[in-house]
Amino acid sequence: MDRLLSCFLYAAPLAAAVMLSTAVYCLLPGRTACGKRSRRLLMLTLGLLAAALVLRLAGSWVLAACGLAWRGWVCSLLGLACLLLAGVGIFQTLDCWLAPGCVHRLPTQILVGISALTLLGVLVTLGLPGWFLSQCPERVLDWEGQTLVQVDHGFLDPDYSYYLYCGPLVRGAEPVEAGETPPVFQ
């Protein structure tokens, strides 16, 4: 199992580069084998994936510079969107790549097929379980006249951290207080 996991981790960046270059090749202006609808859907999927990645990564960087962080549900939603859009993008790229009338060399077909299988394997074995395991329940509570976001980072035992409430999308980056029991129950 460890060897399979390490193979996925080492092959995933190469497979992602192959699939991204294949998707860009499918979107080139001279390509007429796949239909306009397939090309539009592929372009829309890649655009939404890029937007979700930029919002998640660049947004986190900008928020960290301001002393803020995304709330848990926003990170969860953006992560799930990236996973689903990546999976849909793989199938749409293959649909456009294998369109009737396209003739590709056998080594190229094998490389694209193995890359697609590798990325789908990474999404299923690492992406979805990682997404499920990264869920941290949180709630908003008032304590001593201050609104806080309580985040439970524990798995089986409660491990609470409290952050300043800064709105429905963001919270403070640094914990105000941490402990095993919520301060409202002490």
- Average pLDDT score over the chain: 84
Give which of 53, 117, 40, 112 is closest to 84, Cα–Cα. Answer: 53
Degrees, nearest 5: CA angle 69-73-78:
85
Q: Please report which confidence band the pLDDT of residue 179 belongs to, taking 50, 70 and 90 as the band edges.
A: low
Degrees, nearest 5: CA angle 40-26-106:
145
pTM of the predicted structure, to 2 decimals:
0.82
How many whole angstroms separate alpha carbon 148 and alpha carbon 54? 28
pLDDT tens for 89-116 read 999 998 888 877 776 777 888 888 889 9
- Determine the pLDDT at residue 186: 47
Provide the terminal-to-terminal Cα distance of the chain, rounded to the nearest Å. 45
Beta strands in 15-66 (DSSP E): none
Average pLDDT over residues 36-51: 91
pLDDT of 185 higher than 70: no
pLDDT of 170 higher than 80: yes
pLDDT of 31 higher than 80: no
Q: Please report which confidence band the pLDDT of residue 49 belongs to, taking 50, 70 and 90 as the band edges.
A: very high
- Determine the pLDDT at residue 83: 92
- Determine the pLDDT at residue 96: 84
How many whole angstroms separate alpha carbon 162 and alpha carbon 140? 9
Each domain of the chain, given as residue ranges in start order, spans 2-133, 138-185
More confident residue, 87 or 38: 87
Q: Please report which confidence band the pLDDT of residue 55 belongs to, taking 50, 70 and 90 as the band edges.
A: very high
pLDDT of 60 higher than 60: yes
Q: Please report which confidence band the pLDDT of residue 184 belongs to, taking 50, 70 and 90 as the band edges.
A: low
